[in-house]
Structure 1
Amino acid sequence: MTLEGAFADFTRRDWERDPPDDTVRLAVVGTGGFARNRALPAIADGNHCETTALVTESPDRVRSLAAQFDVNHVVDYDGFLAGNHTAVYDAVYVATPNATHGEYAVAAAEHGKHVICEKPLDASLERAREVVDACEDAGVTLMTAYRLQVEPTVRRTRELVRDGVVSDVVQIHGGFSHPLLEDADPDAWQLDPDLAGGGALIDPLNTVRYVLDDDPAGVYASTHSSGPPFDAVDEHVAFQLEFENGATAACTASFDAHASSRLELIGSDGMIRIKSPFGGVVPQEMVVESGDVRMEYTGPPVDEVREEFDYFGYCVLTGTDPEPDVEDGLADLRAIEAAYESAETACRVDLE
């Protein structure tokens, strides 16, 4: 890929060939803020999935939500686990708190349903492996919901790195901060370590691994919390990923700071900078320098959540293995657990 050609047909769905006419019927498990405000609208706006069931703690409380999105079936969690209404959906989207992902993903697999699960697959690597095993045993598709992996700016960045447009990547700088309490109360599940399994570091970590198409050899991390309500989870985190080829990624993340997001890759002969990759809606703005050539791209925002569900539906309908595969989800959890071990011991932790 030449630098001049990098921005041609920028928002192309390079993964989509011969789009299927059918749709995947989804049961959305969990009706919290993200499911209500982002996932359900994205599914409705997309081409390859449709919501046919909602799974929630209190069905009566979501009747208006079901009516808004023309969903005819609402079931409680116990009913879902028991297999009620399995005839009305082909796959499930798990959007419950992190530590409960495994329970519902495993149940879906046992019902013979495909699974798209919010990141991470579960709060622990051990439980995530149970999800992977259940889906493999059932022969169903499992995809971790890494929406940035189907977002055009991040996909184009990976292509540029792969094609050597900036030569060898030497350094990556990433940052993500979000004032969590503006959108959640002090009792939010993200502040409960038993439910969350960790804090704010997940998004930058996976994106770095994805654009480099490589796994880190070691990680060093430190965390800080100023007190309630962040006394049980990391309020702020800084971590460094070290790769076998000598590249390093220095990243920060916070659940209690002004909203900000950035990603910059420095190569031996160039640079790629993405504006706001982790903020929820990537504005499609990037700068690329290659040798003496500098180019900027600005385009209309693309809803990466819609892209994610269309990609999942496409994979199920065509029998395609998702790029965010089972090993991708496990690799993230290995790195996450190593980062927290490093923060606790103040030592670098090697990754196999």
Structure 2
Amino acid sequence: MARDKVRYALVGLGHIAQTAVLPGFVNAKNNSELVALVSGDEEKREKLTKKYQVEYSFDYSDYRKLLYSGLVDAVYISLPNHMHARFTVDALQAGVHVLCEKPLAMNVEDAKVMAQVSEVTGSKLMTAYRLHFQRANLKALEIARAGQIGDVRFFNSIFSMRVKEGNIRTDKRRGGGPLFDIGIYCINATRSFFGELPEQVFAFANQGFDKRSLEVDEMLSVVMKFSGGRMATFIVSFAGNHQAVYDVVGTTGCLRLENAYEYYNDMTLYYSKLSAPTRTYKYKKSDQFGPEIVYFSDCILNNKTPETNATEGVLDLMVIEAIMQSVKSRKPVNLTALSKTLHPTLKQAIHRPAVDNKPVRVHIENPSMD
């Protein structure tokens, strides 16, 4: 494209959009320009366009009008999960590129349609896996792939938060629940280390622990078996004390990343090896949303295929559906083996300074009780 900046509309102005994506656009200004906001809340549109000096704003009812207006080249979809597919397909069909929050859709079928429309129209579709550009996670992957902990044998993770009663994350109809909301991080991290889909999954779920989990699971425990007898386990919960950590254990060493999936805390990576002192790598809090916008804009401007493409989103949903099937049947579920998948490398790391911890907030609240 002739322009040196990609013009974006941010679609959806909920918590993640206001606290992270909008400030992230400030850090992506070298090759990205936020020109429009889309929301069904008039006050949000009015106050946030003024705060971030955005020229245009649209109601959801005028979304298609925006797409065919010629005002934007791309959209960042930051909507509830159940709205991802429809708003993405509309944009792709209009020739507008899409950076869509994860999970890509509510099911594999919808995600495959999104990928197919992207291929047919030539409009790029990227799943917003921000950790594919975050140095702490990429350093852990580099160490493991270089064989510095021997052959990777198993992965274990815990991701929990105390979600407020009534928060959208507890709304089943809108795609709530810990598996879709936070479990996808554990699944994607595991696939990144093993470079493939699991061959088999088995899962337990608990619901009704308190009022927050009447519609969705409060907690899930998942076991995944990979080729070569390798294993992965994780637990996700909406009613546990805040925790976000993973361990990767090889035949001669291990890795541990604390605050592994967060975007508002420092991270610490521990690298231990037999008969050697533990190495500690500390990573200060940084913006994780600006880098993914910068990366996607670079792909658009230079006609490159994003590493975090639609297929990545489809694969994670295949695992999610298998987990859901296992919970229902109380039996292990097999997945169809696929060839090796794309994976992020340290070359993708993009650093941007931490954003304002207290941006302007309009009609939102913290999802967590912490």
TM-score by length of 1: 0.89
Matches within 5 A, 1:118-267: 118-181=101-164, 186=166, 188-196=167-175, 198-200=177-179, 201-225=183-207, 226-267=209-250
Q: Tell me what 2:313 maps to.
A: 329
The Cα of 1:307 is off from its aligned counterpart by 1.6
Q: Tell me what 2:266 maps to.
A: 283
| Number of equivalenced pairs | 329
The Cα of 1:321 is off from its aligned counterpart by 1.2
Contact 1:90 1:113 in 2 (8 A): yes
Give the match's secondary structure for 1:34.
Answer: helix
Taking a change above 3 Å as real, the CA distance of residues 84 and 330 of structure 1, as seen in their structure-2 partners, is closer
Residues 99-134 of structure 1: CA deviation (Å, up to 9, x unaligned): 110010001101101110000111111111111111
Give the match's secondary structure for 2:307.
Answer: coil
Asked if residue 30 in structure 1 is aligned to residue 12 in structure 2, the reply is: yes
Which of 78-87 and 60-69 deviates more?
78-87
Q: Tell me what 2:333 maps to.
A: 349
Contact 2:263 2:285 in 1 (8 A): no
CA distance in 2, matches of 1:311, 1:241: 31
The Cα of 1:282 is off from its aligned counterpart by 5.2
Give the match's secondary structure for 1:298.
Answer: strand
Contact 2:205 2:221 in 1 (8 A): yes
Contact 2:168 2:174 in 1 (8 A): yes
Contact 1:158 1:212 in 2 (8 A): no
CA distance in 1, matches of 2:271, 2:3: 37
Residues 55-83 of structure 1: CA deviation (Å, up to 9, x unaligned): 11133442111111111100111211344
Residues 289-318 of structure 1: CA deviation (Å, up to 9, x unaligned): 233233111132222222211111121112
Contact 1:123 1:197 in 2 (8 A): no
Give the match's secondary structure for 2:263.
Answer: coil
Asked if residue 77 in structure 1 is aligned to residue 56 in structure 2, the reply is: no
Taking a change above 3 Å as real, the CA distance of residues 281 and 309 of structure 1, as seen in their structure-2 partners, is same
CA distance in 1, matches of 2:324, 2:295: 32
Residues 203-256 of structure 1: CA deviation (Å, up to 9, x unaligned): 111111113222111111111121423111111111111101211111011112
CA distance in 2, matches of 1:220, 1:231: 23
Give the match's secondary structure for 1:178.
Answer: strand
Taking a change above 3 Å as real, the CA distance of residues 135 and 84 of structure 1, as seen in their structure-2 partners, is closer
The Cα of 1:196 is off from its aligned counterpart by 0.8
Give the match's secondary structure for 2:37.
Answer: strand
Which of 94-103 and 308-317 deviates more?
308-317
The Cα of 1:346 is off from its aligned counterpart by 1.1
CA distance in 1, matches of 2:31, 2:239: 36
Q: Tell me what 1:52 maps to.
A: 35
Contact 1:174 1:264 in 2 (8 A): yes
Give the root-mean-square deviation of aligned CA atoms.
1.8
Residues 163-211 of structure 1: CA deviation (Å, up to 9, x unaligned): 1111111111101011121xxx51x332222211643421111111113
Query: Which residue identity is paired with 2:110?
Result: R
Query: Which residue identity is paired with 1:345?
Result: S
Ranked by relative contact order (alpha carbons within 8 Å, sequence separation 6 or more), the top structure is 2
Asked if residue 42 in structure 1 is aligned to residue 34 in structure 2, the reply is: no
Give the match's secondary structure for 1:302.
Answer: coil
Which blocks of at least 5 consecutive residues in structure 1 are unaligned? Answer: 1-19
Query: Which residue identity is paired with 2:146?
Result: D
CA distance in 1, matches of 2:266, 2:281: 10
The Cα of 1:161 is off from its aligned counterpart by 1.6
Structure 1 consecutive aligned stretches of length 4 or more whose deviation exceeds 6 Å: none
Q: Tell me what 2:296 maps to.
A: 312
CA distance in 2, matches of 1:290, 1:316: 41
Contact 1:83 1:111 in 2 (8 A): no
Asked if residue 91 in structure 1 is aligned to residue 74 in structure 2, the reply is: yes
The Cα of 1:266 is off from its aligned counterpart by 0.4
Query: Which residue identity is paired with 1:319?
Result: N
Contact 1:99 1:197 in 2 (8 A): no
Which of 98-107 and 281-290 deviates more?
281-290
CA distance in 2, matches of 1:50, 1:245: 46
Contact 1:75 1:84 in 2 (8 A): no
Give the match's secondary structure for 2:186.
Answer: helix
What's the % identity of the aligned pairs?
Answer: 28
Taking a change above 3 Å as real, the CA distance of residues 151 and 103 of structure 1, as seen in their structure-2 partners, is same
Taking a change above 3 Å as real, the CA distance of residues 312 and 282 of structure 1, as seen in their structure-2 partners, is farther
CA distance in 1, matches of 2:265, 2:146: 23
